[in-house]
Structure 1
Amino acid sequence: MKAHRTQDKTSYHHCRINENQTTLSLPTIQLFVWPPMNCRTVQAIMPIGGAMKIIFDWRLSRVVDDQDNIVDEIMWGGKMSPSGVAKRLLKIQQGRLLPEVMTLSERFPEAQIDPLGVLSEPNWPREEESEEVFQRSTLLLAKMRVADSSKDMDRRLDMLVSATLEARSTWTTSESRCIEWAGLFITEADLDSQRHEIPLSIASSETIIEASEKLGVSPPKHMPSDSEWSSMVSHASSVKSSSIILEQLEDSIREIATAHVPSLSALLGPVSAAKMISLAGGRKRLARMPSGSLQVLGAHAAMSAHRRGAPPPKHGAVLFSMPQVNRSPRWVRGKIARYLAGKASIAVRVDHFDGGPWGKSQIDEINSEIEAIKAKFPKPPKRN
């Protein structure tokens, strides 16, 4: 084996030649040489016949034939530091080619690049002195990837949507308990029309009589004890705080969703668009999803029942939350949901592939078409 050492500090290569193989000389190639005034060249030797592939890891790139004979290889000779190795590992993780691989690919254009070939090589050379650096670099790479995850808008939206669902669940339960608790004493209060006023009145009052006056009703016949009233005030205050937190979360969703998926947000609303992205697992997956799958996003229970023989769902929870669907007659909801799903599929593809965001004219045209669907089917179909 002849080893050629270049004057570059980044790599050197070995050229392994089987004496029994017929070889073909290729033009000389300048490889990682520095400084330019002292350029050295190496000559690539290629065996005739037999498929070749390029296999590599962060340290070594190698050309082998179909008999696993080593034809050529380049060893990375850069500074063996955790940061340098981590950058090379990141390139491999992103599917990018290392400089040594590109050099071998130019030298052997017919060789196939196999990024997973090292996994099937039981005799792949290892160096004990580089193992410690490799372990430290993998830890550094993990930290880099975790830090970079904060720029993923899909994950940020998913966190906001999940937090909003949890906050809404907490607020709904606490508010219901607060209304029911207040109605036990303030019996003349209208628990439906004054639903939003009751927690605010209790939280801002010193006594239950003052809360009754703010609600415009008569004082209760039986008064709660001081500790009981204190507990009611604390509970009402938590309902008020939960409401503020929920509003802040939804405002954040509107801000990010409008920037991330402007067309889909204009069509469905920012909150519904964010929910759809969260259910699909990201904007990219949603953009590649058929409109039929998009139509039933969120219909988990209905899809499970459909597998057991029930009729298929006409729409998922996200589309049903749209007033165009839930305020329409039941016999046209499926048609409108299917039409909206098709338009939503186009809108998210426009956003993902950097198209021009939709404006008011496109949304008005879609709403006009929805009204035309309602007018076309004013009565339910006759059943046989």
Structure 2
Amino acid sequence: MKCYLVPCVAGFIAFNENLDIVDYELFPRRSIISKLLEFEKGLTAEEEKIIKRLLKDYGKISIESVHRWKYGKFKGVILESPNIGGEYLRENLREILKEIGFIKDGEFQEIIYEIHMGMTIKRLEESFREQDKLIIQAVSTLDDLDESIGKFVERIREWYSIYFPELESVKDHEHYVKLITEHPRREDIIKLKKLPRESMGAELEEEDIEIIREFARAIRSLQLLRKSIEGYIESKMGYLAPNLRDVAGTTLGAKLIAHAGSMKKLALLPSSTIQVMGAEKALFRHLRRGSKPPKHGLIYQHPLVRGSNWRVRGKIARVLASKISLAVRKDVFTGEYDPNIKEDLYKRVSIIREKPKKKGKKRR
């Protein structure tokens, strides 16, 4: 016999081979966030308790994890990530949490949001000595949010289009989600947006419309959270790295810090490394196979590089990397804001763009 042990926001839930719940160990309600953070770093008391019980009853446990070092002392633990228990839990999380008494009707979105918000804040507030670590964590959180929001928006567009396919004309994702949150019935949106009165979509029950609206509310809360974290990064960058923010912009500057590991590490890198930072795979291919070397990495996201003709992108990327290197060194070693760095950058880019093209030799 074999069972599946799966971690979740509530604690640990075990399923048998028929995917029936056979055991569970919940975190104390008041310390869920701290327990989840503890779980990321090692074995919690709750996990150890339920593993011992399950090994006694079943002999073999499939645990959804890649952290082999956590379970070395347990014989009979099989690591499978993902396993069928984990997939089943994710697909039916709301119903399972209600079944074990962790939530009541209507609490799911609120509790999940509070936990995720608390986890985000705790990660940012953990005892880091260097302030730039906060920026690194915020950028990572932003990347995770972008990935999740992108998947959820795609899902709700497919789901709601069954009911109201004409709303696909709204291309802005935030506006799309906001419309469903505030006006879930298509008749209201038709009046508001002056869309065709007859919809080709299917008729849905009130229960169907309400669950879509609840999903839209959850996505909307994540979108607002993303804006909040973006504002936080803007504030932190203005305080810690004003020159880098001025030259590279808030988002790109923060990503460069995160990629390097710290502001000090970024300041010690040569500009040639900064230029291709984020394009390591292409660089290794160049070194191993002799393919063309990359001209830019993360700094391609800068409008000066992205918005330039491909013929001069390499030169502009080189100038930008040089100025980024100078800006971050100013921030780290002097702390003085110097607006001349950005001014000189734009002057040099303007010269590169205006330089006449070299005419190639005519073929005879």
Give me the TM-score of the superposition, normalised by structure 2. 0.59
CA gap of 1:277–1:382, structure 2 versus 1, over 3 A, is: farther
What's the CA shift string for 1:156-214, capped at 9, x where partnerless? 11111111110111111112222333334323334354543221111112523223333
CA gap of 1:307–1:179, structure 2 versus 1, over 3 A, is: farther
Say whether 1:364 aligns with 2:343.
Answer: yes
How far apart are residue 372 of structure 1 and its match?
1.4
Match of 1:156 in 2: 134
Say whether 1:375 aligns with 2:354.
Answer: yes
What's the CA shift string for 1:269-316, capped at 9, x where partnerless? 122111111101111111110111111111133234334422111111
Match of 1:341 among 321, 324, 339: 321
What's the CA shift string for 1:29-52, capped at 9, x where partnerless? xxxxxxxxxxxxxxxxxxxxxxxx
Question: Runs of at least 4 residues of structure 1 off by over 6 A?
Answer: 379-384
- Distance in 1 of aligned mates of 2:362 and 2:152: 45
Match of 1:313 in 2: 294
Q: Which amino acid aligns with 1:311?
A: K
Match of 1:177 in 2: 155
How far apart are residue 377 of structure 1 and its match?
4.9
Which runs of no fewer than 5 residues in structure 2 stay unpaired? 1-124
CA contact (8 A) 1:208 1:223 kept: no
Alignment of structure 1 residues 266-285 onto 2, 5 Å: 266-285=246-265
- Distance in 2 of aligned mates of 1:380 and 1:161: 44
Match of 1:241 in 2: 221
CA gap of 1:159–1:307, structure 2 versus 1, over 3 A, is: same
CA gap of 1:238–1:305, structure 2 versus 1, over 3 A, is: farther
- Distance in 1 of aligned mates of 2:230 and 2:357: 36
Alignment of structure 1 residues 42-57 onto 2, 5 Å: none
Match of 2:275 in 1: 295
- Distance in 2 of aligned mates of 1:177 and 1:148: 34
Match of 1:350 among 317, 327, 330: 330
- Distance in 2 of aligned mates of 1:170 and 1:154: 25
Q: Which amino acid aligns with 1:209?
A: E
CA contact (8 A) 1:266 1:358 kept: no
What's the CA shift string for 1:332-361, capped at 9, x where partnerless? 1111001100111111111111152122x4
Q: Which amino acid aligns with 2:192?
A: K
How far apart are residue 378 of structure 1 and its match?
5.0
Alignment of structure 1 residues 55-70 onto 2, 5 Å: none
Secondary structure of 2:269 counterpart: coil
CA gap of 1:202–1:353, structure 2 versus 1, over 3 A, is: same
CA contact (8 A) 1:207 1:229 kept: yes
CA contact (8 A) 2:260 2:266 kept: yes
- Distance in 2 of aligned mates of 1:354 and 1:249: 27
Q: Which amino acid aligns with 1:257?
A: M
Secondary structure of 1:252 counterpart: helix
- Distance in 2 of aligned mates of 1:316 and 1:214: 44
Q: Which moved more, 1:277-286 or 1:225-234?
A: 225-234
- Distance in 2 of aligned mates of 1:240 and 1:383: 59
- Distance in 2 of aligned mates of 1:290 and 1:338: 11
- Distance in 1 of aligned mates of 2:362 and 2:275: 25
- Distance in 2 of aligned mates of 1:302 and 1:383: 33
CA gap of 1:240–1:274, structure 2 versus 1, over 3 A, is: same
**Percentage of pairs with the same residue:** 26
Q: How many residues align?
A: 236
How far apart are residue 382 of structure 1 and its match?
7.8
CA gap of 1:216–1:265, structure 2 versus 1, over 3 A, is: same
- Distance in 1 of aligned mates of 2:178 and 2:275: 39
Higher gyration radius (CA): 1
Ranked by relative contact order (alpha carbons within 8 Å, sequence separation 6 or more), the top structure is 2
- Distance in 2 of aligned mates of 1:284 and 1:255: 19
Which runs of no fewer than 5 residues in structure 1 stay unpaired? 1-146
If each structure's helix is expressed as a fraction of its own residues, which one has the higher value?
Answer: 2
Give me the TM-score of the superposition, normalised by structure 1. 0.57
CA contact (8 A) 2:305 2:316 kept: yes
CA contact (8 A) 1:179 1:195 kept: no
- Distance in 1 of aligned mates of 2:240 and 2:216: 36
- Distance in 1 of aligned mates of 2:193 and 2:286: 48
What's the CA shift string for 1:65-103, capped at 9, x where partnerless? xxxxxxxxxxxxxxxxxxxxxxxxxxxxxxxxxxxxxxx
CA gap of 1:379–1:231, structure 2 versus 1, over 3 A, is: farther
Match of 1:226 in 2: 206
- Distance in 1 of aligned mates of 2:328 and 2:353: 25
CA gap of 1:206–1:175, structure 2 versus 1, over 3 A, is: closer
